[in-house]
Amino acid sequence: MTAETATTAAPRALARQRRRAAAARFWREYRTHRAGLFGLAALVLFALVALTAPLTVGSDVQSVTDAPGKPLESPSLQFPLGTDQFGRNLLGLVVWGSRVSLLVGLLAAVLSVAIGALIGVTAGHFRGWYATVIMRITDWFLVMPTLVLAIALATVMSRSLGTIILAIGVTTWPTTARLVRAQTLAVESRPYIERAKALGGGHWHIMSRHVVPNVMPLVLAQTTLIISTAILAEATLAFLGLGDPSIVSWGGLLQDAREAGAVSSGDWWYLVPPGIAIAIVALAFTLCGRAVESVLNPRLGVSR
Amino acid sequence: MTTAPLISVEGLHVTFPGRHGMPPARAVDGVDLQIRPGEIVALVGESGCGKTTLARSLLGLVPPTAGRVTFDGTPLDYSSRALKAYRKRVQLVLQDPSGSLNPRHTVYDAVAEGLRIHGHGGDERAAVTEALSRAGLRPPERFFLRYPHELSGGQRQRVVIAGAMVLEPELIVADEPVASLDASVRGEILALLLRLRAELGLSALVVTHDLGLAWNIADRVAVMYLGRIVETGDVEQVLTAPRHPYTQALLSVLPEAPGAPVVLSGEPPDPARIPGGCRFHARCQVLAGGEAEAAGVAEACRTRDLEVLDGAAGAQVACHWARAGVTA
Amino acid sequence: MSLLDVRNLEVTYPGGAAAVRGVDLSLAAGEKLGVAGESGCGKSTLALALLRLLPPGTRIGGEILLDGEDVLTMKWGRVRAVRWAGASIVFQGAMHSLNAVHRIGDQIAEPILLHRKATPAGARRKTGELLEHVGLPAARANAYPHELSGGQRQRVMIAMALACAPRLIVADEPTTALDVMIQAQILRLIERLVSDQDLGLIMISHDLAVLADTCDRLAVMYAGRVVEEGPARQVYDDARHPYGRALSEAFPRIGDPASRFAPRGLPGDPPDPAALSSGCAFHPRCPVVLDVCATEDQALREAGERRRAACVHVAPGSAVTEEEADVRSSTS
């Protein structure tokens, strides 16, 4: 190593180099988990379907007035999944509904994990009376029946996607908070935290440079798991009639199916596809989440 | 002529509240200690004697219940801003190098951390390079992007030392710096500490249970028992001609020691239940063997506590029997 | 006939790391053998191999003759009978080897009940006896591990190792992490028990000074091989192998002015069993390395009476020459 190259590369370049190497290493390890790869493949597929929906089916697939088929037609070549009670192409509706379900699931999960992580880290770091108070609040939210609270919120506020996202986010954060707090306590008992304090690091430095990076793997794994919970929750809320009636989502399709009497009349094509779609996406996120967890878990990731 | 001490501790008491109704634990129960610039002092004792607590109170990590710490003539201010400035002058090296480094930070980040906390104005990379080089990791660039788990124990400890040295401190507090390392690697790390002392005038307080380590690198040694220093003085003197029965016992059980080993029975006692009189009298082999009786100090051993040693240069011992002038 | 005879033992872990590469040892009843070495030298692997406690998939070669029977070719039922009743181990990290949710009395009685098929009452009585033997009051049998101190837990581990009256005890780092005084108590206890019951003892440690004091013979391991072997005091005071010498110097003698402000160590790190260098495994760190050391591996050769060392500088039967001694002292 010559002196010239030693002085030209700045710390920022080093950080970039390190991040690239870390990402490459992560991908190499992730590849070894077959279940995770299946999950990832399924998610990529659904994401593509959702993103290209405006091109493949177009938004007018949800139009009731211009419905192309007759109501409740069974599957045929023209309509591979049949039609709904208004005569709309069910396959198109499932594709279109993926956008809402995935979006709501993602945003609600991000909100939930953000609240949970913030509370978990601060409660674990500061302790004292602040932690006691906030953990009791967490416990209170934990024992509240999620669905009941979500329903209550959705009823009080206007019926829109934002409400759904908020309702789910605000009721599912306690699990994350407890997990993150436990992990924070574990991290803070390690000697390198004492070293950081001895170097002169304050609260912000310790939380942002030491606790959060070590808690991130857990948070990331939690996010993927909560996304599947959120998608299911959104489907439930829509099924119960609390979603936005003007928007097509998988849960909404299930509700429509139930109202149209698809259960008793044996119109399986109305019920089964949205249900399977929900199940597959939830499963895919779970598989990914578990693979991410086992890759990022420091104890498993370090081979020595 | 005595130089002014770099750091001095006066009447230090650190008491931890007892748990579940137990009496409070007097971890440090009255200590005076001084360390001069360029001096290496070894603090030895068994677990529970308070040496770890004493070391951390020198760093300001543990606020004292009574007494004070004075650095370079100024008493320690425990406000967060003053403490942060203090940390640039006194640094810490811990026992377990694999635990001391954040597994997610590279070697470069670990060493640069101190600089970033204090807002280093100059070239960060040059400072890190120099610190790693001085700690014996050459060429330094090769280590920048490595992670702690990719290094050996000795290399990790060098990274920790580099991270401490990058702030150019005047005093290092090392808590069992080589206890977790392999025997053949220890010598190199200890030689590094001696070199830093020779090149930079660094002072050090080395906390250890290993008397051999004190013989290897320390100028003075202070022996602690149950929160007090019971004997202190130059290493040559204390380790070859110990006066306190506890020091004598510790030295006698070492593998190479001449004479019969004095194996004290029982466990090191609990800082929550410090016996009255001389705190060592319950395990003291001199008292049990009758020599204290013969010297006429047995009653004093059982009832009168000894005063705190002043911890400056010179040999001192806190023992009624030793002071009675009886030689072993 | 010796109590234990290890012949050309080779252990390779599933990942390909050769932890033990041809070790010969022998031990008579009542004899104490110390095995010294640092991390990665294979000493703990050796201990586990003696009772076939290595993970499945490990390749083991050679013979381990315990009282004439080869442990490696025993039938499974016989292995289980031999474990603990023939030879037992005091594990490293004894603090964590005790089950935290069981009382120590139950844990000591466990091997008794498994092997001797004694009645529970008989096992309880025996447990009390064992605790007294190791210096703990019998009433402590009802305590949980967390209620005991480190030294007391170590005594419980020793009591457990003696539970089925084995002929051989293997102590793997029995006093690491203990205070000096407690260490002295434990070593004294081990010595007394070994001489009272005429047991064979193999003590494994990185602390060469402790081994030299406690054991009759000493074997120094490096990179899976024994590099020096002989009477304990001689190997410690005057090692013939450069590594043995360096390891011995790493433990300063208090009162010796030569080690005052002169900490002695070796450059580099203990070798990784998965990536050993060619020739003599020690040559990258050796202070008296010669060209031949990088290409030729060294076997153990005679280095005095009942002593062997694996170094090219040790000519059969000869003492170290002045020249070699000069080379060593000038380069170390």
**Domain limits for position B286:** 245-323
User: Does residue C157 contact residue C90 with C-beta atoms inside 8 Å?
Assistant: yes
Residue B69: Cβ-neighbour burial (10 angstroms; 0-12, 13-18, 19+)? buried
B195's tokens: 């070199």
Q: What is the pLDDT of residue C316?
A: 59
* B-proximal residues of A, 207-236, CB under 8 Å: 209-210, 213-214
C-alpha span between B229 and B244 (Å, rounded): 11
Cβ contacts (< 8 Å) between A194 and chain B: which residues?
Answer: 61, 92, 94
Interface of A with B in 148-207 (CB under 8 A): 190-192, 194-202, 205
Per DSSP, the three-state class of A75 is: coil
Confidence check: pLDDT of C332 > 80: no
Whether residue B108 lies within 8 A of chain A, CB to CB, comes out as yes
Contact B145 A298 (CB under 8 A): no
- Same domain? For B216 and B256 the reply is no
Residues 6+ apart with CB under 8 A from C17: C272, C273, C274
User: Domain check: are B218 and B278 in the same one?
Assistant: no
Q: Is residue B193 domain-shared with residue B292, that is, in the same domain?
A: no
| Nearest CA-CA partner of C53 in C103, C87, C95, C3 | C87
Classify residue A82 by its DSSP letter.
-
Whether a cis peptide bond, with omega within 30° of 0, leads into B139 is: yes
B139 reaches A (C-beta below 8 A): yes
Nearest to C254 among B47, B212, B261 (CB): B212
Look up the CATH number of domain C4-221. Answer: 3.40.50.300
Q: Which two tokens stand for residue C167?
A: 């002929």
Query: What is the domain partition of chain A in residue ranges?
Result: 49-62+79-300
C320 pLDDT higher than 60: no
- Tokens 């033990």 -> residue: C20
The β-bridge relationship of strands B40-44 and B203-208 is parallel
Residue B310's identity, in one-letter code, is D
Which residue type does A257 have? Answer: A
pLDDT of residue A28: 85
**Beta strands in B178-281, from DSSP E residues, in sequence order:** 203-208, 220-225, 228-234
Give the count of Cβ contacts less than 8 A between chain A and B. 85
Neighbouring chains of B at 3+ CB pairs under 8 Å are A, C
Torsion angle defined by CA atoms of residues C11, C42, C188 and C191, in that order, rounded to the nearest 10 degrees: 30
pTM of the model: 0.83
Hey, are the CB atoms on B113 and A7 less than 8 Å from each other?
Answer: no
Please state which CATH class domain A49-62+79-300 belongs to: mainly alpha
Task: Classify strands C4-12 and C59-66 as parallel, antiparallel or unpaired.
Answer: antiparallel
Cα separation, C221 vs C256, in Å, equals: 27
Contact A6 B141 (CB under 8 A): yes
Q: What is the crossing angle of helices A11-30 and B107-118, to 10°?
A: 140
Asked if B113 lies within 8 A of A209 by C-beta distance, the reply is: yes
- Overall average pLDDT of the A179-205 stretch: 91
Residue C324: pLDDT above 60?
Answer: no
pLDDT of residue C229: 93
Residue A272 CA to residue A17 CA, distance in Å, equals 48
pLDDT (mean) for B264-281: 84
Rounded average pLDDT over B35-52? 91
Measured in residues, chain C has a length of 332
Alpha carbon distance C297, B291 (integer Å)? 59
pLDDT of B22 reads 84
Q: What are the domain boundaries of chain C? A: 4-221
In a domain, B2, yes or no: no
The separation between the first and the last C-alpha atoms of chain A, rounded to the nearest angstrom, is 29
For A67-81, write each residue's pLDDT tens digit: 777 777 777 777 777
CA distance C161 to C168: 10
**pLDDT at res. A9:** 56
What is the structure's pLDDT at B2? 61
CB contact at 8 A, C212 and C219: no
Interface of C with B in 129-188 (CB under 8 A): 149-152, 179-185, 188
Q: Which residues of A touch B144 (CB under 8 A)?
A: 14
B289, B205 contact by CB (below 8 A):
no
Surface of C (224-243) touching B: CB under 8 A: 243
Does B253 contact C180 at a Cβ distance shorter than 8 Å? yes
Whether A22 and A278 have beta carbons less than 8 Å apart is answered as: no
Asked whether residue B312 falls in the same domain as residue B207, the answer is no
For residue B328, the model assigns a pLDDT of 47
* Domain-embedded: residue B87: yes
Mark yes or no for CB contact B263/C213 under 8 Å. no
pLDDT in tens, A47-62: 888 888 888 777 777 7
A206 neighbourhood in chain B, CB within 8 Å: none
pLDDT value of residue A300 = 45
Cα angle for residues C325, C329, C332 (degrees, 5° grid): 135
Can you tell me whether residue C305 is helix, strand or coil? Answer: coil
d(CA B140, CA B125): 10
Among A2, A14, A199, pick the best mutation site for testing chain B contact (most B Cβ within 10 A).
A199
pLDDT of residue A8: 41
Question: Within this chain, do residues B197 and B305 fall inside the same structural domain, yes or no?
Answer: no
Q: Do B104 and A298 touch (CB under 8 A)?
A: yes
Distance CA C330, CA C332 (A): 6
Buried b (16+ CB within 10 A) or exposed e, C128-153: bebbebbbbeeebbeeebeebbbbbb
* Chain B CB within 8 Å of residue A3 CB: no
Cα Rg of chain C, angstroms: 21
Decide if pLDDT at B217 tops 50: yes
pLDDT at A152 over 60: yes
DSSP assignment letter at A89: B
Residue contact B84–A202, C-beta within 8 A? yes
| The pLDDT value given to residue C94 | 66
Read off the pLDDT of residues B117-129 as tens digits, 9 standing for 90 and up.
998 878 889 999 9
E-strand ranges in C130-224 read 168-172, 200-205, 217-222
Confirm whether B236 is domain-assigned: no
Edge-to-edge strands, sheet with C4-12: C18-27, C4-12, C59-66, C69-70
- Mean pLDDT across the stretch B125-145? 91
* pLDDT on residue C322: 43
Q: In what order do the strands lie in the sheet with B220-225?
A: B90-93, B171-175, B203-208, B40-44, B220-225, B228-234, B316-317
- Determine the pLDDT at residue B263: 85
Q: Which chains touch A (3 or more CB pairs under 8 A)?
A: B
B288-325: pLDDT as tens digits? 888 888 888 888 888 888 888 887 778 899 988 888 87
Decide if C260 and B216 are in contact by the 8 Å CB cutoff: yes
Would you state the pLDDT for residue A304? 28
Pairing of strands B90-93, B74-75: unpaired
pLDDT band at C200 (very low <50, low <70, confident <90, very high): very high
Sign for the CA dihedral angle at B297, B300, B302, B308 comes to negative
Decide if B99 touches A, using CB distance below 8 A: yes
Q: How many CB atoms lie within 10 A of CB A139?
A: 13
- Tell me the per-residue pLDDT of A206-219, one tens digit each, with 9 for 90 and over: 999 999 988 887 88
What pLDDT is stored for residue C174 in this prediction? 85
Rounded mean pLDDT of chain C? Answer: 86
* CA dist., res. C63 & res. C69, Å (int): 9
Q: Which residue of B has its CA nearest to C179?
A: B46
Residue closest to C47 by CA, chosen among C241, C201, C272, C232: C201
Give a yes or no: residue B199 inside a domain: yes
How are beta strands C200-205 and C168-172 bridged, if at all?
Answer: parallel
Q: What is the CATH number of the domain that holds B177?
A: 3.40.50.300
pLDDT at B222 over 70: yes
Looking at A134-143, A204-213, B51-60, B301-310, which range is the least confident one?
A: B301-310
Q: How many domains, in total, are found in chain B?
A: 2
Nearest CA in chain B to C268: B185
Mean pLDDT of the residues in chain B: 89
Residue of chain B whose alpha carbon sits nearest to that of C266? B184
The burial class, CB within 10 Å (0-12 / 13-18 / 19+), for C65 is: middle
Pairing state of beta strands B74-75 and B228-234? unpaired
Tally C-beta pairs within 8 A across B and C. Answer: 120
Burial per residue of B233-272, b for 16 or more beta-carbon CB atoms within 10 angstroms, e otherwise:
bebeebbeebbbbbbbbbbbbbbbbeeebbbbeebbbebb
Q: Which of C48, C68, C58 is nearest to C7 (CA)?
A: C68
Residue of higher predicted confidence among A263 and B56: B56
Rounded to an integer, what distance in angstroms lies between the CA atom of residue C174 and that of residue C190?
A: 10
